[in-house]
Structure 1
Amino acid sequence: MSVLIRNGHVIYGEDFEIVKADVLIEGNRIAKVAKGINEGADTVIDAKGRVVSPAFVNLHTHSPMGLFRGLADDLPLMDWLQNHIWPREAKLTREYTKVGAYLGALEMIKSGTGTFLDMYFFMDAVAEVVEESGLRGYLSYGMIDLGDPEKTEKELKEALRTMEFIEKLNSDRVQFVFGPHAPYTCSIALLKEVRRLASEHNKLITIHVSETMAEIGQITERYGKSPVVLLDDIGFLGRDVIIAHGVWLDSRDIQILARNGVTVAHNPGSNMKLASGVMPLQKLLNAGVNIGLGTDGAASNNNLDMLDEMKLAALLHKVHNLDPTVADAETVFRMATLNGAKALGINAGAIKEGYLADIAIIDFNQPHLRPVNNVISHLVYSANGNDVETTIVNGEILMLDGEILTLDEEKVIAEAERVSEKLA
């Protein structure tokens, strides 16, 4: 299949150069970016007045949690988790989780996300949704053993079962990732075995680390060191590790992350809403740490809109540092595209010949995006997910002119309402 996108403002290459050009997609790759491409294509899209952007990479979320959107707002993290979210999650079935995954997939497609890194339960069901929706999903079963050896074995078994299920799908868009929940919910034994298995099977690892002051206190009291130092001491860290949050990091932690090539998935919306704190973005960037952007789950954000998340990231760090030059628009846009793709080891996050054809076309024919003085700035500070008109992943059109082509939008929303009533 081939797609030709004509007449757009194209964000070209790794340097995000803005060019008026056409983009030719052949199969799942970008074949050519140039003015006046005359080659025929199966589908031709007129992008006049639109911006042709790399699709966004959501580097940390819990996609089925849209079912809990708005049910436990304005609470600190541990109260939110222990007294509201975990009791509701105990009611989840595979069917309910799949309904939530459909809702999450729909929301991401409509707001221009092409790839996401997920951690939740019943991830075989989520994998089926990813395959059907056309998204690119990196999926981890969230392991929690709370120091119980019997639970350790059970959690590892479920993770391996999920890995086997995903690999049998034989899809280049659906990948398994090991996902121990966090150092405060996982035993050292579990963490060490995850590290061994990830190396053996050549899989990525994602884990929540240093999200709150309470977590730092808990780990320090238990082990006499920070979560990052703990993970380093047991040989857990590496270039295949993506830590979520990284809010409470000291200089030693940052040096360790940089030395090990660890990526940090920044979740400013969730961190602000739960009052967890502010990640030391500039210090991490100065140390050379790769930073991606994530929304976290829609129960603590409360959306999966990466355009919205970019604005939050840029504004948060400016006011926190009292410095308007921190978290400039291009840096934040890079976090939401190229940096996320780099963390996942995929040739995506940019519009350039040979890259995966993951593209969002954004309608700039609107008052809040005119005049087109600065495309990247407008995307970070002015746009939102509703401005996305077309989403293409792996060369396949998932949404065209606002119409979802791979999912039944009305059915997804109706099912989400039905299940939400059962979980409330």
Structure 2
Amino acid sequence: MKRWLINNGTFLTMDELQPQFTGWLAVDGTRIVAMGEGPAPQHELNAAAEIIDGTGYLYMPGLVNTHGHAAMSLLRGVGGDLALQDWLQNHMWPMEAKFTGDDVYWGTALSAVEMIKSGTTTFVDMYDHMNRVAEVVETSGMRASLTRGVIGLCPEDVQRAKLADAIGFAKDWHGAADGRIRVMISPHAPYTCPPDFITKFVQAAHDLDLPMHTHMSETIAEVEQNVRDYGCRPVEHLDRLGMFSRPTLVAHGVHLTDEEIALLAERKVAVSHNPVSNLKLASGVARVPDLLKAGVTVSLGTDGAASNNNLNLFQEITTAALIHKGVSGDPTVIPASEALRMGTLYGARSIGLEGVTGQLKPGLKADIIALSTNKSHFVPHTDLISHVVYGSTGNDVSHVWVDGRQLLRNGQLLTLDEERIMAEAQRCYERLRG
């Protein structure tokens, strides 16, 4: 791969030593190799096979979406304005039971289109037919942590087959696509997986040396059910089952006590905060300021497009910055810079990719997005971080690179056929609807 350089750009790095500057950045192959303030030095210009004029653009790390179900984009707009269990049991699960591998492929491709065009370069996905999800990641050029999510409310022989499928997927795909694909081990949730089934997944994670991911404490009803069934709340339950002996990312973590937050911090468990999905399903508002204060890594996820209804992580960044101010009555509680880190650096940290992506820094992967600042909501050019967090949307993204390869140029996808994908996704939905 060639060496190229962005000159005269404005950069938000997510690096405390040099958080923001106007200058240049050089990429060689898949990695950022140098950057600095002011005009690029002549030797850097001479070494570059391509020089990009960064005037009028704000460059920042690609966004990291740490929880979702990409294929559920096929169910966008289905069963809206319902509580979680009603939405799942009476609308989502019956339709998902009809999903084929092709449905998962085209639903994931539709999500990849939306994510790339709105600046997400890395995503976590929990679903079925994960080979097809991995195919989309490989083709699209994105980075992903993928996991075969498993519901254990089934006979023992079906449980064994699902566990074998999850292990097989991990062996086949971990490290694939030039290292852009990583795999996690995922029992779906404490309320959908019997305890002995979860322990089998914990053992698989140890055997394969992989992290774990699950839904946890999303609703009050879920927590109360856990207490009825197992005599304790979900955090203690999963800790007893050994899950937190592995690096773990839990989705939601809405209903937590002080003691649970302290335990998550002690076990170094990361939390994927999904504010828009949690609001739409009326699941509640997670105690993010308390989690951050305790030292828990909190990242951001969209959840599936069926409960959001989009995969625009900029909306999650904005919502995370705003909602906790309103709930706490403290306008300083989640500063704009912290919300932006939740969508970038903390996202990478929560899935073991800190030092790989989530920042603009020499040695890290060239996962870069460019926002056009030649728009009214970026004027005047005062606090650009404030503009990004409170005023910008995924529609401001003009260019995207992952591993140094350009996936989006001037808003046009370079690796995916957007028109065909939308047509195929619509066709899949029509069949599912019956």
Shorter-chain TM band: over 0.9
Q: How big is each residue's C-alpha offset from its partner over 1:154-181, in whole Å with a ceiling of 9 and x where there is no partner?
A: 2101101212331484630011111110
1:95 to 2:97 alignment = no
Work out the CA distance in 1 between the residues paired with 2:267 and 2:154: 26
Contact persistence 2:367–2:403 (CA under 8 A)? yes
Deviation at residue 40 of structure 1 after TM alignment: 3.6
In the alignment, which residue of structure 2 is the partner of 1:411?
420
**TM-score normalised by structure 1 residue count:** 0.97
Work out the CA distance in 1 between the residues paired with 2:174 and 2:367: 22
Work out the CA distance in 1 between the residues paired with 2:155 and 2:385: 49
Moved more, 109-118 or 9-18: 9-18
In the alignment, which residue of structure 1 is the partner of 2:15?
14
In the alignment, which residue of structure 1 is the partner of 2:369?
360
Contact persistence 2:167–2:204 (CA under 8 A)? no
Determine which of 252, 268, 278 is the counterpart of 1:271: 278
Deviation at residue 321 of structure 1 after TM alignment: 0.9
Work out the CA distance in 2 between the residues paired with 1:140 and 1:180: 9
Compared with structure 1, are the counterparts of its residues 361 and 340 closer, same or farther at alpha carbon in structure 2 (3 Å cutoff)? Answer: same
Q: Which residue identity is paired with 1:141?
A: R
Moved more, 262-271 or 188-197: 188-197
In the alignment, which residue of structure 1 is the partner of 2:230?
223
Deviation at residue 150 of structure 1 after TM alignment: 2.5
Determine which of 52, 61, 72 is the counterpart of 1:45: 52
In the alignment, which residue of structure 2 is the partner of 1:159?
166
Determine which of 319, 324, 337 is the counterpart of 1:317: 324
Determine which of 24, 27, 39 is the counterpart of 1:25: 27
Moved more, 234-243 or 86-95: 234-243
Work out the CA distance in 1 between the residues paired with 2:188 and 2:11: 38
Listed as ranges, the gaps of 5+ residues in structure 1 are: none
Q: For residues 193-204 of structure 1, what are the structure 2 equivalents within 5 Å?
A: 193-204=200-211
Q: For residues 160-175 of structure 1, what are the structure 2 equivalents within 5 Å?
A: 160-167=167-174, 169=176, 171-175=178-182
Work out the CA distance in 1 between the residues paired with 2:61 and 2:175: 29
In the alignment, which residue of structure 2 is the partner of 1:369?
378
Moved more, 161-170 or 366-375: 161-170
Q: For residues 337-352 of structure 1, what are the structure 2 equivalents within 5 Å?
A: 337-346=344-353, 347-352=356-361
1:56 to 2:63 alignment = yes
Work out the CA distance in 1 between the residues paired with 2:175 and 2:401: 25
Q: Which residue identity is paired with 1:28?
A: T
Contact persistence 2:175–2:182 (CA under 8 A)? no
Deviation at residue 380 of structure 1 after TM alignment: 0.8
Provide the identity percentage: 43
Work out the CA distance in 1 between the residues paired with 2:130 and 2:57: 36
Work out the CA distance in 1 between the residues paired with 2:311 and 2:8: 29
Moved more, 370-379 or 139-148: 139-148
In the alignment, which residue of structure 2 is the partner of 1:36?
39
Deviation at residue 218 of structure 1 after TM alignment: 0.6
Helix, strand or coil: the match of 2:82?
A: coil
Contact persistence 1:239–1:260 (CA under 8 A)? no
Deviation at residue 135 of structure 1 after TM alignment: 0.2
Contact persistence 2:56–2:372 (CA under 8 A)? yes
Contact persistence 1:239–1:263 (CA under 8 A)? no
Q: How big is each residue's C-alpha offset from its partner over 1:373-398, in whole Å with a ceiling of 9 and x where there is no partner?
A: 11111111000001000011111100
Work out the CA distance in 1 between the residues paired with 2:49 and 2:426: 37
Deviation at residue 13 of structure 1 after TM alignment: 4.8
Determine which of 264, 282, 298 is the counterpart of 2:289: 282
Compared with structure 1, are the counterparts of its residues 220 and 356 closer, same or farther at alpha carbon in structure 2 (3 Å cutoff)? Answer: same
Deviation at residue 322 of structure 1 after TM alignment: 1.5
1:257 to 2:260 alignment = no
Deviation at residue 193 of structure 1 after TM alignment: 1.3
Q: Which residue identity is paired with 1:10?
A: F
Q: Which residue identity is paired with 2:19?
A: E
Determine which of 126, 136, 140 is the counterpart of 1:119: 126
1:390 to 2:399 alignment = yes
1:332 to 2:339 alignment = yes
Deviation at residue 234 of structure 1 after TM alignment: 1.9
Contact persistence 1:147–1:187 (CA under 8 A)? no
Contact persistence 1:147–1:186 (CA under 8 A)? no
Helix, strand or coil: the match of 2:52?
A: strand
**TM-score normalised by structure 2 residue count:** 0.95
Contact persistence 2:149–2:187 (CA under 8 A)? yes
Contact persistence 1:140–1:176 (CA under 8 A)? yes
Compared with structure 1, are the counterparts of its residues 174 and 56 closer, same or farther at alpha carbon in structure 2 (3 Å cutoff)? Answer: same
Moved more, 358-367 or 164-173: 164-173
Compared with structure 1, are the counterparts of its residues 385 and 212 closer, same or farther at alpha carbon in structure 2 (3 Å cutoff)? Answer: same
Work out the CA distance in 2 between the residues paired with 1:205 and 1:118: 12
In the alignment, which residue of structure 2 is the partner of 1:303?
310
Q: Which residue identity is paired with 1:48?
A: T
Deviation at residue 198 of structure 1 after TM alignment: 0.8
Helix, strand or coil: the match of 1:237?
A: helix
Helix, strand or coil: the match of 1:334?
A: helix
Q: Which residue identity is paired with 1:24?
A: A
Work out the CA distance in 1 between the residues paired with 2:51 and 2:72: 36
Helix, strand or coil: the match of 2:243?
A: coil
Deviation at residue 129 of structure 1 after TM alignment: 0.4
Contact persistence 1:69–1:302 (CA under 8 A)? yes
The count of aligned residue pairs is 424
Q: How big is each residue's C-alpha offset from its partner over 1:111-136, in whole Å with a ceiling of 9 and x where there is no partner?
A: 11110111011110000000000000
Q: How big is each residue's C-alpha offset from its partner over 1:210-263, in whole Å with a ceiling of 9 and x where there is no partner?
A: 000110011010011100011111221146100000000001111110010000
Q: Which residue identity is paired with 2:278?
A: N
